[in-house]
């Protein structure tokens, strides 16, 4: 068979040909230049990053007939024999197939004899972590004090399984996963030598699919060349890999950004015709959302080589950072729960609908566009009526399903004022010129807040009201919750509640004088939880089960009603 796979044909033969791992190459080259050689080297790292290749290059460096050099000649008898795998003083062992202590003892029987052909007798043990405990014990003494003509080269993907006593006797070098850009660049060099026409985007796909392994990248390239009849086309590579084209994901996200439910479902239908694995679709969406977050937060660190970089940049300017974070969390949870859905497509659709329905309010206080409603059918801002009594607020009724019209919802005015238009001073306020102190927890339940803006408001306590200015107090321990968009939402909600434009100021204090709504809500939850646990413990049926089967109640499994 004349054909040779790319991974073997283009295996590096010198340090200069090895891609990446500069931190390892520098240490080895300097050690040989200064004649500071060690008797045992351990190379660790994931599959396909060059551990065995690096060990064979090091064997050439140590046995080249030109001397111990970091750049072996490649022409002498020793270099050629090592490259061809027939150098008598290079003993390669696959530890995965020789795990018994008898195998290790047999291997070490000839350690004391001088090398036959080369300068050093080299033992290259691959996947050394597969040796048994007794094998490591048999190796340990020789590894600690080997003859001067012996060098051990150990390679492993799992150094944590190697005894510390062995690790302490080796120089350890950790080979890093290769970045996609480095892999794609090397593939381009290889294919140029092979005179193969290849799309740049196809190379990027292969580099990403290799997941840090150069050997995997070359193997995938061989497969892609067979799939594409000797050429690499982007669409064919995507089809071969079974990956989701990022354009599909971007089409979904662009529909979400526009709040266009019809376009979103149409994009999902088009995607479903490709018969994808919807878990992979959500994984691709998570990767794209990560890229969006990087583009929004640290644009200098964004991946400029991504095939859809321009669309990602545009989308990053359309979606708010809060949208991106929310979509990421929904996709992450949806991917985890996808197997629980009655059908993967239904589960995927529900993930998209959650993203569409639960988009946060934008920083200017306006709600995200709703694809199911037009501006004429959206409910108007809810405001309290003037000159109302302090009676408890009526429960809001849901919108009528037959007409689609939202039912009116009433809200009470501030509890201690006659009218929100003209709050009266009160000595109870405790602030000069301040308005009366409202029941802030009750008022908060009537504000149109949700998500992080509600969380911020619940950690605040009422300070005072001076005309159109509302002052809230926030413990410095929760200062991290503050940001301008959230405060703008609270201000807009207060304006809707009072029925006129309001200003908001949040003062930071060392300690709040009264309980916040968040503390009160947490106390109420704990009280309900304790009541539920006591109710379960006192239930006669539960008591009988505990006595009969020696059962016990798991407190975390008890959930209060309501």
Indicate which CATH number applies to the domain containing 140: 3.40.50.300
Question: What pLDDT was estimated at residue 53?
Answer: 92
From first CA to last CA, the distance across the chain in angstroms is 73
Last residue of a domain, one of 357, 384, 401: 357
Q: What is the pLDDT of residues 483-495, one digit of tens each?
A: 888 899 999 999 9
Q: Which residue has the tokens 């080269």?
A: 153
Query: Within a 10 A sphere around the Cβ of 488, how many other Cβ atoms?
Result: 17
- How sure is the predictor about 2, in pLDDT bands with cuts at 50, 70 and 90? low
Rounded Cα–Cα distance for residues 246 and 140 (Å): 51
Q: What is the pLDDT of residues 140-191, one digit of tens each?
A: 888 888 899 999 999 999 999 999 999 999 999 999 999 988 999 999 999 9
Per the structure, the complete domain to which residue 536 belongs is given by 523-557
Rounded Cα–Cα distance for residues 412 and 420 (Å): 10
| Residue 55 sits in the same domain as residue 159 | yes
Please report the beta strands in 348-422, taking only residues with DSSP state E, as ranges in sequence order: none
| Residue 300 sits in the same domain as residue 285 | yes
Q: What share of the chain is helix, strand, coil (3-state, %, to 5)?
A: 50, 10, 40
Question: What pLDDT was estimated at residue 265?
Answer: 94
What's the whole-number average pLDDT of the chain?
Answer: 82
| Domain-located, residue 139 | yes
| Residue 123 sits in the same domain as residue 68 | yes
Mean pLDDT of 376-401: 38
pTM: 0.56
H-helix segments, 319-439: 321-337, 344-357
**Phi, psi angle pair for 320, to nearest 5°:** -80, 155
| Domain-located, residue 417 | no
How many Cα neighbours within 13 Å face the side chain of 539? Answer: 13
Question: What pLDDT was estimated at residue 365?
Answer: 45
Please check whether residue 102 is in contact with residue 132, taking contact to mean a CB–CB distance below 8 angstroms.
no
Q: In this structure, what CATH number is given to the domain that contains residue 451?
A: 3.30.300.150
pLDDT > 90 in the chain, percent: 38
30 Cβ contact partners less than 8 Å away, ≥ 6 residues apart: 36
- How sure is the predictor about 351, in pLDDT bands with cuts at 50, 70 and 90? very high
| Residue 32 sits in the same domain as residue 127 | yes
| Domain-located, residue 95 | yes
- With CA atoms as reference, report the closest residue to 10 among 158, 187, 173: 187
Last residue of a domain, one of 341, 357, 373: 357
| Residue 206 sits in the same domain as residue 319 | no
Q: Residue 464: in which H helix or E strand, if any?
A: strand 460-466
For the four alpha carbons of 256, 258, 259 and 261, in that order, the dihedral sign comes to negative
Please check whether residue 184 is in contact with residue 203, taking contact to mean a CB–CB distance below 8 angstroms.
yes
Lowest mean pLDDT among 126-140, 143-157, 190-204, 394-408: 394-408
* pLDDT above 50: residue 420: no
| Domain-located, residue 365 | no
Last residue of a domain, one of 116, 151, 174: 174
Strand pairing category for 40-44 and 90-94 = unpaired
The C-alpha angle with vertex 70 and arms to 64 and 74, in degrees rounded to 5, equals 40
Lowest mean pLDDT among 122-131, 356-365, 389-398, 516-525: 389-398
How many Cα neighbours within 13 Å face the side chain of 409? Answer: 19
| Residue 353 sits in the same domain as residue 465 | no
| Residue 448 sits in the same domain as residue 510 | yes
Please check whether residue 507 is in contact with residue 463, taking contact to mean a CB–CB distance below 8 angstroms.
yes
Rounded Cα–Cα distance for residues 40 and 124 (Å): 10
Query: What are the strands of the beta sheet with 150-156, ordered from one edge?
Result: 90-94, 121-126, 150-156, 40-44, 171-174
Rounded Cα–Cα distance for residues 337 and 348 (Å): 10
What is the number of structural domains in the chain? 5
| Residue 153 sits in the same domain as residue 88 | yes
């Amino acid at each position: 068979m004349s054909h040779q796979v790319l991974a073997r044909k283009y295996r590096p033969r010198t340090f200069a040909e090895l891609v990446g791992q500069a931190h390892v190459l520098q240490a080895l080259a300097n050690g040989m230049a200064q004649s500071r050689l060690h008797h045992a080297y351990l190379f660790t790292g994931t599959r396909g990053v060059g551990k065995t290749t690096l060990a064979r290059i090091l064997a050439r460096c140590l046995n080249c007939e030109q001397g111990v050099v970091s750049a072996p000649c490649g022409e002498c008898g020793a270099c050629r024999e090592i490259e061809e795998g027939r150098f008598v003083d290079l003993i390669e062992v696959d530890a995965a197939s020789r795990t018994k202590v008898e195998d290790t003892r047999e291997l070490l029987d000839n350690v004391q004899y001088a090398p036959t052909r080369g300068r050093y007798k080299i033992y290259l043990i691959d996947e050394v972590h597969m040796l048994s405990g007794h094998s490591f014990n048999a190796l340990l003494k020789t590894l600690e004090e080997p003859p001067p003509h012996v060098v051990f080269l150990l390679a492993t993907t799992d150094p944590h399984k190697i005894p510390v006593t062995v690790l302490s006797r080796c120089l350890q070098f950790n080979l890093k996963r290769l970045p996609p850009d480095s892999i794609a660049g090397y593939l381009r060099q290889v294919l140029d030598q092979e005179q193969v026409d290849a799309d740049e985007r196809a190379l990027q796909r292969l580099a990403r699919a290799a997941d840090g392994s150069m050997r995997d990248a070359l193997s995938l390239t061989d497969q892609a060349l067979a799939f594409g009849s000797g050429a690499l086309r982007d669409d064919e590579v995507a089809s071969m890999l079974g990956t989701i084209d990022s354009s599909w994901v971007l089409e979904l996200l662009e529909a979400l950004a526009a709040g266009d439910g019809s376009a979103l479902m149409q994009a999902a239908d088009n995607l479903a015709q490709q018969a994808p694995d919807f878990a992979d679709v959500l994984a691709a969406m998570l990767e794209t959302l990560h890229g969006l977050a990087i583009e929004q937060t640290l644009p200098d660190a964004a991946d400029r080589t991504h095939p859809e970089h321009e669309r990602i940049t545009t989308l990053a300017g359309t979606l708010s950072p809060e949208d991106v974070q929310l979509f990421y969390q929904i996709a992450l949870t949806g991917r985890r729960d996808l197997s629980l859905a009655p059908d993967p497509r239904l589960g995927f659709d529900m993930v998209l609908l959650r993203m569409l329905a639960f988009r946060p309010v934008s920083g200017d206080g306006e709600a995200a566009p709703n694809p199911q409603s037009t501006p004429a059918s959206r409910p108007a801002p809810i405001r309290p009526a003037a000159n109302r009594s302090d009676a408890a607020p009526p429960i809001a009724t849901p919108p009528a399903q037959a007409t689609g019209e939202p039912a009116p919802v009433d809200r009470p005015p501030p509890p201690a004022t006659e009218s929100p238009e003209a709050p009266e001073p009160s000595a109870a306020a405790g602030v000069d010129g301040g308005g009366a102190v409202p029941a802030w927890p009750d008022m908060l339940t009537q504000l149109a807040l949700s998500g992080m803006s509600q969380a911020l408001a619940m950690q605040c306590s009422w300070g005072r009201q001076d005309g159109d200015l509302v002052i809230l107090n926030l413990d410095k321990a929760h200062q991290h919750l503050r940001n301008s968009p959230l405060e703008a939402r609270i201000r807009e909600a207060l304006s809707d509640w009072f029925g006129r434009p309001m200003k908001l100021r949040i003062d930071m204090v060392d300690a709040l004088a009264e309980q916040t709504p968040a503390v009160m809500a947490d106390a109420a939850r704990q009280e309900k939880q304790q009541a539920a646990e006591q109710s379960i413990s006192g239930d006669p049926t539960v008591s009988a089960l505990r006595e009969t089967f020696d059962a016990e109640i798991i407190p975390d499994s008890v959930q209060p009603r309501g």
